[in-house]
Chain A
Amino acid sequence: MAGVKFGVVVFPGSNCDHDAYHATKHVLGESAEFLWHKESDLRGVDVVVLPGGFSYGDYLRCGAISRFSSVMKEVVKHAENGGHVIGICNGFQVLTELGLLPGALLRNESLKFVCKDVHLRVENAEGAFTNRYEKNAVLQIPVAHGEGNFYTDSETLKSIEDNGQVAFRYVEKDGTVSAAANPNGSLNNIAGITNQQGNVLGMMPHPERVVEQLLGSSDGLGVFESLVDTIAGSVPALK
């Protein structure tokens, strides 16, 4: 079985890039490399990871400047050709600014930076990023953001829901959706969504921070394992 190559994009201000690298290379045992934002070659990676952090200091709007980096032009092409892209936290913000995912991430309703463990329910366990989980499984994964309040107009929201694009939702420990379980005011408690084709995922919580018992939990590893199953298990593209 051929290995999967992860490429972690590094913007000025990224600060979860090493976590993503560690998760994919050392814990998962796949190959991984960093992709500097000025590069214009993805070096044949199978999965692009847009990591968390404060790219370009969050100037103007979170993710607004990063989306014009030269590496992002290649990331868009990669996604349009069906390649997999995962944006975590700031990476999710970049993906919405870029238009690869619908909606926007507004300032948290509380106006506060929220840094804590939350519970997520797996809404769609058939996707490329979630097939290792059971549907409705409840995961404990940390969030750390000031702008994670998912918003979109009601028509788009309906289509996201109807198409099964919601990957994760903020819930109570027992899996019920409640306002109290929502850390940021996101519509429908949405924590992560995919695009319509299912090859691009954006999520505010940090799965790369919970990938081994040493870190307290390995609930987040399934996201990366799912990708390996999806890519290594699929018919290899002709070289």
Chain B
Amino acid sequence: MYKATITVKLRPSILDPEGKAIEHALQSLEYTRLSGVRVGKEIELTVDAEDAATAEKLVDEACSKLLANPVMEDYTFELQEL
């Protein structure tokens, strides 16, 4: 069994207005050294797989089919053996 932690983010070429709004709020708190805010989401799930390679294949497939939309999002994930 593995635990997958998946991060889905808007692709770098796409304007992230939520990130921009947060960045402005940070600026108004005078965090002038913080910039480049991008907002994503994290998805956790359990994978019933005999080895890491199988788990990786399953999660990758699920990401490309459902969990992320390749038109606008990129994803990365990490696997942790349970």
Contact = CB atoms under 8 A, between A and B. Distances in A.
A97 B65 CA distance: 10
Contacts of A97: 69
Contacts of A185: 15, 17
A57 to B, nearest CB: 15
Contacts of A64: 66, 69
B14 interface: yes
The range of chain B's interface size is 10 to 19
Interface string A97-139: 1000001101111110000000000000000000000000000
Interface size of A as a range: 10 to 19
Interface in B54-72: 66-67, 69, 71-72
Contact of A151 (B18, B66, B67, B72): B72
Contacts of A151: 14, 71-72
A25 interface: no
20 contacts: A60-B66, A60-B67, A61-B69, A68-B66, A97-B69, A103-B71, A104-B72, A106-B14, A106-B72, A107-B17, A108-B17, A109-B15, A111-B17, A111-B21, A151-B14, A151-B72, A152-B71, A153-B13, A153-B71, A185-B15
Interface of B: 10, 13-15, 17-18, 21, 66-67, 69, 71-72
Interface of A: 60-61, 64, 68, 96-97, 103-104, 106-111, 151-153, 185
